[in-house]
Chain A
Amino acid sequence: MDLRLLDEAPTIAERDAVDSFLGEPESGWDGGTRQDSHLRYARGGHAARDRRDLLLPALHAVNDRVGWISRGALNHICRRLTIPPAEAYAVASFYAMFALHERPRRVVHLCTDIACAAAGAGRLRDRLNERLGAAGSSDAGTTWHESPCLGLCERAPAALALQADAPARYAVAAPATPRALDALTESPADDDTTSGSTNGHGPRNGLTFHDRPLPGASAEPDPATAIPDAGSPDHVLLRRIGRIDPLSLDDYRAAGGYAALREALRLGPAGVIREVTDSGLVGRGGAAFPTGRKWNATAQQPVTPHYLVCNADESEPGTFKDRVLMEGDPFAVVEAMTIAGYAIGARTGYLYIRGEYPRALTHLENALVQARERGLLGPDVMGAGFAFDIEIRRGAGAYICGEETAIFGSIEGLRGEPRSKPPFPVEKGLFGRPTAVNNVETLVNVLPVLLMGGPAYAAQGTEGSTGTKLFCLSGGVRRPGLYEMPFGATLGDLVEAAGGMPEGRSIRAVLLGGAAGTFVRGDELDIPLTFEGARASGTSLGSGVVLVLDDTADLIATLVRVAAFFRDESCGQCVPCRVGTVRQEEALVRLRSGASPERELPLLREVGQAMRDASICGLGQTAWNAVESAVDRLGLFTDSTTTAPDARATTEEAR
Chain B
Amino acid sequence: MTEPVLLPTPRRLIDATIDGRNVRVPEGTTVLEACSEQGTEIPTLCYGDTLTPRNACRVCVVEVEGARTLAPACSRRLEPGMSVATDSERVRHGRKLVLELLGSSVDLSTTPGVAAWMERYGAEPERFGPRAAPAAMGVRDARRAGEHHPGDGTTAETVEQPPKVDNELYVRDYSKCITCYKCVDACGDQWQNTFAIGVAGRGFDARISTEHDVALPDSACVYCGNCVEVCPTGALSFTTEFEMRRAGTWKEEEQTQTTTVCTYCGVGCNVTLHVQENEIVKVTSPHDNPVTHGNLCIKGRFGFQHVQRRGND
Interfacial residues, chain A to chain B (CB-CB below 8 A): 1, 3-4, 6, 71, 74, 84-91, 93-96, 99-101, 135-136, 145-146, 148, 397-398, 415, 420, 560, 564, 567-576, 578-583, 585-590, 593, 595, 603, 606-607, 609-610, 612-616, 621
CA distance A492 to B142 in the complex (A): 48
Q: Does B148 contact A (CB under 8 A)?
A: yes
Q: Determine which of B70, B105, B153, B211 lies in contact with A590 in the assembled complex, contact meaning CB atoms within 8 Å.
A: B153
The 8 A CB mask of B188-211 against A (1 = contact, 0 = none) is 100001011111111111100111
Q: Does B245 contact A (CB under 8 A)?
A: no
With a cutoff of 8 Å between Cβ atoms, the chain B residues found around residue A93 in the complex are 145, 200-202, 209
Q: Does B102 contact A (CB under 8 A)?
A: yes
Report B45 CB to chain A, min CB distance, Å: 9
Report B227 CB to chain A, min CB distance, Å: 12
Q: Determine which of B94, B144, B188 lies in contact with A613 in the assembled complex, contact meaning CB atoms within 8 Å.
A: B94
CA distance A3 to B179 in the complex (A): 25
Q: Count the B residues whose beta carbon is within 8 Å of the partner chain — how many?
A: 60
Contact yes or no, A90 B94, CB < 8 A: no
CA distance A136 to B148 in the complex (A): 12
CA distance A87 to B194 in the complex (A): 11
Contact yes or no, B57 A575, CB < 8 A: yes
Contact yes or no, A564 B150, CB < 8 A: yes
Contact yes or no, B144 A99, CB < 8 A: yes
Report A418 CB to chain B, min CB distance, Å: 10
Report A564 CB to chain B, min CB distance, Å: 6
Q: A607-B97, A614-B97 are in contact. Are A586 and B157 (CB under 8 A)?
A: yes
Chief secondary structure at chain B's binding surface: loop
Report A505 CB to chain B, min CB distance, Å: 30
Q: A397-B145, A397-B146 are in contact. Are A572 and B202 (CB under 8 A)?
A: yes
Contact yes or no, B145 A94, CB < 8 A: yes
Contact yes or no, A621 B69, CB < 8 A: yes
CA distance A100 to B202 in the complex (A): 14
With a cutoff of 8 Å between Cβ atoms, the chain B residues found around residue A101 in the complex are 142
Q: Does B272 contact A (CB under 8 A)?
A: no
Q: Does B127 contact A (CB under 8 A)?
A: yes
Contact yes or no, A609 B55, CB < 8 A: no
Instruction: Kindly report which residue of chain B lies nearest to residue A101, judged by CB atoms.
Output: B142
Contact yes or no, A586 B153, CB < 8 A: yes
Q: Does B85 contact A (CB under 8 A)?
A: no
With a cutoff of 8 Å between Cβ atoms, the chain B residues found around residue A580 in the complex are 97, 101
Chief secondary structure at chain A's binding surface: helix
With a cutoff of 8 Å between Cβ atoms, the chain A residues found around residue B196 in the complex are 84, 86
6 extra interface residue pairs, beta carbon distance < 8 Å, beyond A99-B144, A571-B202, A581-B204: A576-B94, A576-B98, A581-B203, A613-B61, A613-B93, A614-B94
Report B51 CB to chain A, min CB distance, Å: 15
Instruction: Kindly report which residue of chain B lies nearest to residue A599, judged by CB atoms.
Output: B127
Contact yes or no, B93 A398, CB < 8 A: no
With a cutoff of 8 Å between Cβ atoms, the chain B residues found around residue A99 in the complex are 144
Residue among B54, B105, B178, B195 with max Cβ neighbours from chain A (10 Å) = B195
Contact yes or no, B212 A585, CB < 8 A: no
With a cutoff of 8 Å between Cβ atoms, the chain B residues found around residue A136 in the complex are 144, 147
Contact yes or no, B75 A86, CB < 8 A: no
Contact yes or no, A572 B203, CB < 8 A: yes
With a cutoff of 8 Å between Cβ atoms, the chain B residues found around residue A612 in the complex are 69
Contact yes or no, B204 A567, CB < 8 A: yes
Contact yes or no, A610 B94, CB < 8 A: yes
CA distance A526 to B97 in the complex (A): 38
Instruction: Kindly report which residue of chain B lies nearest to residue A420, judged by CB atoms.
Output: B55
Residue among A96, A614, A616 with max Cβ neighbours from chain B (10 Å) = A614
Report B144 CB to chain A, min CB distance, Å: 7
Contact yes or no, A420 B211, CB < 8 A: no
Instruction: Kindly report which residue of chain B lies nearest to residue A590, judged by CB atoms.
Output: B153
Segment with Cβ contacts to A, from B214-222, B285-293, B295-303: B214-222
With a cutoff of 8 Å between Cβ atoms, the chain A residues found around residue B104 in the complex are 579, 583
Report A357 CB to chain B, min CB distance, Å: 16
Contact yes or no, B153 A6, CB < 8 A: no
Q: Determine which of B58, B144, B179 lies in contact with A615 in the assembled complex, contact meaning CB atoms within 8 Å.
A: B58
Q: Which chain B residues in 128-151 approach chain A with CB under 8 Å?
A: 128-129, 142, 144-148, 150-151
Report A453 CB to chain B, min CB distance, Å: 34
Q: A6-B214, A582-B157 are in contact. Are A574 and B147 (CB under 8 A)?
A: no
Contact yes or no, B57 A574, CB < 8 A: yes
With a cutoff of 8 Å between Cβ atoms, the chain A residues found around residue B94 in the complex are 576, 610, 613-614
Contact yes or no, A568 B148, CB < 8 A: yes
With a cutoff of 8 Å between Cβ atoms, the chain B residues found around residue A86 in the complex are 195-198, 209-211, 219-220
Q: Does B56 contact A (CB under 8 A)?
A: yes
Q: A89-B211, A576-B101, A582-B105 are in contact. Are A614 and B61 (CB under 8 A)?
A: yes
With a cutoff of 8 Å between Cβ atoms, the chain A residues found around residue B234 in the complex are none
Q: Does B156 contact A (CB under 8 A)?
A: yes
Contact yes or no, B206 A572, CB < 8 A: yes
Q: Does B154 contact A (CB under 8 A)?
A: yes
Q: Does B254 contact A (CB under 8 A)?
A: no
With a cutoff of 8 Å between Cβ atoms, the chain B residues found around residue A574 in the complex are 55-58
Report B58 CB to chain A, min CB distance, Å: 5
Report A270 CB to chain B, min CB distance, Å: 29
Residue among A94, A574, A579, A595 with max Cβ neighbours from chain B (10 Å) = A579
CA distance A398 to B61 in the complex (A): 27
Top 7 nearest A-B pairs by Cβ distance?
A: A96-B146, A90-B198, A572-B206, A84-B195, A610-B97, A589-B153, A590-B153
CA distance A606 to B93 in the complex (A): 8
Contact yes or no, A575 B102, CB < 8 A: yes
Instruction: Kindly report which residue of chain A lies nearest to residue B205, judged by CB atoms.
Output: A572
CA distance A94 to B148 in the complex (A): 14
Instruction: Kindly report which residue of chain B lies nearest to residue A610, judged by CB atoms.
Output: B97
Q: Does B152 contact A (CB under 8 A)?
A: yes
CA distance A569 to B54 in the complex (A): 20
Q: Does B164 contact A (CB under 8 A)?
A: no
With a cutoff of 8 Å between Cβ atoms, the chain B residues found around residue A87 in the complex are 188, 195, 198
With a cutoff of 8 Å between Cβ atoms, the chain B residues found around residue A589 in the complex are 150-153
With a cutoff of 8 Å between Cβ atoms, the chain A residues found around residue B55 in the complex are 420, 574, 616
Q: Determine which of A100, A579, A606, A615 lies in contact with B212 in the assembled complex, contact meaning CB atoms within 8 Å.
A: A100
Report A317 CB to chain B, min CB distance, Å: 13
With a cutoff of 8 Å between Cβ atoms, the chain B residues found around residue A398 in the complex are 145-146, 202
Contact yes or no, A613 B101, CB < 8 A: no
Q: Which chain B residues in 48-76 approach chain A with CB under 8 Å?
A: 54-59, 61, 69-70, 72, 75
With a cutoff of 8 Å between Cβ atoms, the chain A residues found around residue B203 in the complex are 567-572, 578, 581
CA distance A575 to B102 in the complex (A): 7
Contact yes or no, B200 A567, CB < 8 A: no
Report A637 CB to chain B, min CB distance, Å: 14
Q: Does B90 contact A (CB under 8 A)?
A: yes
Contact yes or no, B199 A575, CB < 8 A: no
CA distance A646 to B253 in the complex (A): 60
Instruction: Kindly report which residue of chain B lies nearest to residue A417, judged by CB atoms.
Output: B199
CA distance A88 to B210 in the complex (A): 10
Report A328 CB to chain B, min CB distance, Å: 28
Q: A579-B105, A590-B154 are in contact. Are A146 and B147 (CB under 8 A)?
A: yes
Instruction: Kindly report which residue of chain A lies nearest to residue B103, judged by CB atoms.
Output: A579
Q: Which chain B residues in 88-115 approach chain A with CB under 8 Å?
A: 90, 93-94, 97-98, 101-102, 104-105
User: Could you pull out 7 A-B pairs where Cβ atoms are within 8 angstroms?
Assistant: A71-B212, A397-B146, A568-B145, A580-B101, A582-B157, A607-B101, A613-B61
Q: Which chain B residues in 26-66 approach chain A with CB under 8 Å?
A: 54-59, 61
CA distance A305 to B215 in the complex (A): 42
CA distance A580 to B97 in the complex (A): 9
Report A457 CB to chain B, min CB distance, Å: 29
With a cutoff of 8 Å between Cβ atoms, the chain B residues found around residue A576 in the complex are 58, 94, 97-98, 101
CA distance A457 to B195 in the complex (A): 52
With a cutoff of 8 Å between Cβ atoms, the chain A residues found around residue B178 in the complex are 575
Contact yes or no, A90 B152, CB < 8 A: no
Q: Determine which of B70, B146, B197, B211 lies in contact with A88 in the assembled complex, contact meaning CB atoms within 8 Å.
A: B211
With a cutoff of 8 Å between Cβ atoms, the chain A residues found around residue B197 in the complex are 86
Q: A572-B202, A621-B69 are in contact. Are A96 and B145 (CB under 8 A)?
A: yes
Contact yes or no, A90 B209, CB < 8 A: yes
Q: Determine which of A564, A570, A582, A603 lies in contact with B127 in the assembled complex, contact meaning CB atoms within 8 Å.
A: A603
